[in-house]
Structure 1
Amino acid sequence: MSIPAPAPVFVSSEAAREVFDWKDAIGALQLAYSQSQPPQSTPPRSVAALHKTWLRTLPAVPVTGRYYGAKLMGAAMGVDKPAVEYVIVLFDRQTSRIAGFVDGALVTGFRTAATSAAALDRLAPPGPARLGVLGSGLEASMHVRAIASVRELSEVVVFSPTPEKRAAFAEAVTRDLGVPARGVGSGREAVEGADLVLCAARSRDEQPTLYADWLKPGATIVSIGSTVPSQREIDVSVVERSDIIVCDMLEEVLEETGDMLEANKAGLHFHDKSYSLVDLMSGALDERLLQAQTRMFKSVGGGLQDIVVAELILSRAIAAGSATPLPIQFETKYL
Structure 2
Amino acid sequence: MSTHPDSPVFVSGAVARQVFTWSEAIESLRASYRLPEQAGATPPRTVATVGKAWLRTLPAFPPAGRYFGAKLMAAGVQGVSAGIEYVIVLFDRETSRIAAFLDANAITAFRTAATSALALDGLAPATPARLAVLGSGLEASHHARAFAAVRPLTEVVVYSPTPERREAFAQALERDLGVPARAAANAEAAVDGADIVLAAARSQGEKPILFGAWLKPRATVVSIGSTIPQQREIDASVVERSDLIVCDSLEEVLTETGDMIAAKAAGLAFRDKAFSLNDLVSGACDERVRSADIRMFKSVGGGLQDIVVAELIVRKALEAGLATPLPIQFESKR
One fold, TM greater than 0.5? yes
Equivalent position of 1:101 in the other structure: 101
1:94 Cα deviation (Å)? 1.3
Deviations 1:40-92 (A, max 9, x none): 00001000111111000000001100000000001014369421100000001
State percent identity of aligned pairs.
65
RMSD of aligned C-alpha atoms?
1.2
- Look up the SS of the partner of 2:319 in the other structure: helix
The offset of 1:289, in angstroms, is: 1.1
Q: What displacement does 1:96 show?
A: 0.5
The equivalent residue for 1:315 is 315
**Is 1:207 paired with 2:207?**
yes
Pairing 1:125-274 to 2, within 5 Å after superposition: 125-274=125-274
Mark the runs of 5 or more structure 2 residues left unpaired by the alignment: none
What corresponds to 1:115 in structure 2?
A: 115
Q: Which amino acid aligns with 1:20?
A: F
Q: Which runs of 5+ in 1 are unaligned?
A: none
Secondary structure of the corresponding residue to residue 301 of structure 2: coil
Q: Is the 8 A contact 2:131 2:194 kept in 1?
A: yes
For the Cα contact (< 8 Å) 1:77–1:83, is it kept in 2? Answer: no
Q: CA deviation at 1:6?
A: 1.3
Using the TM superposition, name which of 75-84 and 311-320 deviates more: 75-84
Counterpart-to-counterpart distance in 2, 1:70 and 1:47: 13
> What is the CA-CA distance between 1:253 and the residue it aligns to?
0.4
Report the AA paired with residue 242 of structure 1: S
- Other structure's SS at 2:55 match: strand
**Equivalence for 2:82:** 82
Report matched runs for 1:277-296 at 5 Å. 277-296=277-296
Describe the superposition over 1:96-116 as per-residue Cα deviations: whole angstroms up to 9, x where unpaired: 100000101000000000000
What's the TM-score, normalizing by structure 2?
0.98
DSSP-derived class of the 1:41 partner: coil
3-state secondary structure, aligned to 2:194: coil
TM value normalised by structure 1: 0.97
Cα deviations by residue, 1:221-271 (Å, 9 ceiling, x for unpaired): 000000000000000000000000000000000000000000000000001
Shift in Å at residue 118 of structure 1? 0.2
**Cα deviations by residue, 1:12-67 (Å, 9 ceiling, x for unpaired):** 00000110010010011111011111130000100011111100000000110000
Aligned residues of 1:37 and 1:62 also touching (Cα < 8 A) = no
Aligned amino acid, residue 214 of structure 2: W
Secondary structure, in 3 states, of the residue corresponding to 1:115?
helix
Local SS of the residue matching 1:39 = coil
Aligned residues: 331
CA contact (8 A) 2:52 2:79 kept: no
Q: Is the 8 A contact 1:61 1:69 kept in 2?
A: yes
The reply to whether residue 19 of structure 1 matches residue 19 of structure 2 is yes
